[in-house]
Amino acid sequence: MGWGNILDHVPNLFQKIWMDQAHRKYRLPGRGTASNQSGRFEPLTVEAVADGWDGDGDPLPVLRTQVSFEVPRSVISYNQSPDLPFDRSINPYRGCEHGCVYCFARPSHAYLGLSPGLDFETRLIARPDAPEVLRRELAAKKYQVAPIAIGTNTDPYQPIEQDHRIMRSLLEVLSEANHPVAIVTKGSLIERDIDILSDMAARGLCRVGVSVTTLDARLSRLMEPRVPAPKRRLQMIERLAAAGIPVRVMASPMVPALTDPELEAILQAGRDAGAVAASWIMLRLPREVSPLMQDWLATHYPDRAGRIMARLREMHGGKEYDANWHRRMRGEGPYAEMIAQRFVLAVKRLGLNTLLPPMRCDLFRPPKRASAQLDLFGD
């Protein structure tokens, strides 16, 4: 009996253990973490060890990205957070191939029974039906228009968008309906959609935030291995701005004692590239992100790992992260206040707004339903 037949007869839990064990036996070029620790909802954890079998010393294959598909019943997610300037968002993808080690969205993969570590950046889920589901939701009689945010959890312009084009199709639906949209991204693929975005911007329906974590290309490659280099992101700002699209440079996240000395330089570079607004957020380490980030610091910056974590704990009442509203984005205490003051002085000197004029909602018109079959879901 082959291994495949044996696995068919063991419980799903142990099949998952087997697959997780195999999942670790790969080379990991361009990945943000080497850990695939089980998520917080899993009853067991697994550690791969050399067992002395022949072949343990052979070169390992490269871990490749896997994409599966989901058919969503709805795509607009609503929130009531007072920390956020929007009450609704869309995620075309679950997981993100950019592999940013610090990504606060990593814990969301645990809800899928996957690891917030390597699984988050290698086992991705695309939602190809999202544009048609969005069309149905916007056409519902009860729908009340307000700006939709895209890219607040996982990046809509991560590499797999090149093949799946879900984000572009979403934009086509939003543009048809004259619906305002705010986009956050690190991906240069956004330049592909400048034709749609510039047209929407001319109608007061679009703005873009580009995250620039550091200007140091080497540090960027270590922290965010599959993200365009800082210089390339500044070029994105320049090209979007030249097309008439309002762009915000986002100095996010600020890593204390590592990237925070660059705050003013990042804002200056963004302004010089054409950004008209700016924002910042402190490093956030919710749930499984904290051990991943601490492992990364111990590997790449052991000389300052202790100092970085000490600063974070100072800002969160002795904890590595405080999820309470009004504190989770910036932290509290002297160090957080110093960063905030530096930001205020810099944006004032550079003429960068922190608030842009509101996008237009008065132009909205419900789109036509593309398929009668989707009406089965109801309004």
Confidence grade of residue 209 (pLDDT, cut at 50, 70, 90): very high
* 90-104 per-position pLDDT tens digit: 999 999 999 999 999
The reported pLDDT for the residue numbered 42 is 67
Q: Rounded to whole angstroms, how far apart are CA atoms 134 and 90?
A: 9
Confidence grade of residue 20 (pLDDT, cut at 50, 70, 90): very low
Q: Which residues of 232-270 are buried (b: 16+ CB within 10 A; e: fewer)?
A: ebbebbbbbbebebbbbbbbbbbbbbbbbebbbebbbbb
The reported pLDDT for the residue numbered 13 is 40
| Main-chain phi, psi angles of 376, to 5 degrees | -60, -25
As a whole number, mean pLDDT of residues 5-29 equals 45
Q: Which residues of 349-367 are buried (b: 16+ CB within 10 A; e: fewer)?
A: ebebeeeeeebeeeebebb
CB atoms inside a 10 Å sphere around CB 191: 14
Q: Are 33 and 117 in contact (CB under 8 A)?
A: yes
The reported pLDDT for the residue numbered 11 is 37
Q: Rounded to whole angstroms, how far apart are CA atoms 32 and 221?
A: 9
* 272-321 per-position pLDDT tens digit: 999 999 999 999 999 999 999 999 999 999 999 999 999 999 999 999 88
Confidence grade of residue 160 (pLDDT, cut at 50, 70, 90): very high
Distinct helix (H) and strand (E) counts, the chain? 13, 10
The pTM assigned to this predicted structure is 0.86
Task: Report which of residues 207 and 9 the model is more confident about.
Answer: 207
* Dihedral in degrees, nearest 10, Cα atoms 302, 304, 308, 313: 80
| Main-chain phi, psi angles of 19, to 5 degrees | -65, -40
N residues, the chain: 379
Confidence grade of residue 189 (pLDDT, cut at 50, 70, 90): very high
- For the chain, give the mean pLDDT: 88
CB atoms inside a 10 Å sphere around CB 38: 21
Confidence grade of residue 25 (pLDDT, cut at 50, 70, 90): low
Residues with Cβ within 8 Å of 165's Cβ and at least 6 positions away in sequence, in order, are: none
Question: Considering the chain, what percentage of its residues have pLDDT values greater than 70?
Answer: 85
